[in-house]
Structure 1
């Protein structure tokens, strides 16, 4: 049984040859250059290789002794990685973790490669959703929030504001104007 089986079917379509012919040509070309691998066969359009156990053990031990596990350091650069960015005007869910986990993994790999990384975990913005929320609150009045509210209540509040924004041009313009005031650090906003 092979440790590595390399399919040649896609390449055979490009070369307009049978997968068997392509796998045989590749096998003949690489056989003299294999180090630590033995060519078992070229069969049914696959190049089949097997690792020599001693060679594999030595390579594994070399990696264990190398704190960089064979990864070469890059010329250090300063890199900004912007990730996450959930809309904080809406209820969060588990799907928001995906971008955060991927972004953090990218940052860790870049640091491992020797780069200076600036993490920018942008949590939402002060855009239209906040203008909508503020204007909806103004329309309802301060007394509308006399009892303690949970996240699901806030999510419903956002949905109501969104419907108003989509259906009422006057409300939409007020929400956009409120965003300008908010971004300008208006004290009443």
Structure 2
């Protein structure tokens, strides 16, 4: 699997549709992996922030999660706007091995005994399941744009979707509003020019 250069794409171009998200989540048989990808989609977490979430940072009673946003050097608390993701996380916590991390490393010996899953493993897990679903590989960051577009499709305003991600309207317009290939194909079919 190749890596994506930041100059080559806008994450909105690789965003998943609601149908693709459902198909992607159905492809998982590992609860930890499914909960991890569902959380990334639900609140638009970056890989580095996702792997660093500690078990104590998630409140199963309220559905709130607190995480450190590395890129912006700040701590954020957000309500997870998905009952399905909250349910997956609660099931994951009940069955997961004891670890300070919400998503511990699958390796349990030596230096990995108390380590979290790596950000590269997150990327590989996403793309392995995209391939299983019959979808093209894409950068993990495209899940941020997926979150943004799903929020807007559910009736959230642009500002509310930006608040969920912790981004400005300007960033959203530049990166997340870019239409995906699927959106452009649907548009061309539904609204022909000639």
Do these two structures clear the TM 0.5 threshold for a shared fold by scoring above it? Answer: no
Higher strand fraction: Structure 1 or Structure 2?
A: 1
Which has the higher Rg, Structure 1 or Structure 2? Answer: 1
TM-score (norm 2): 0.21
Output the TM-score relative to the length of structure 1. 0.22
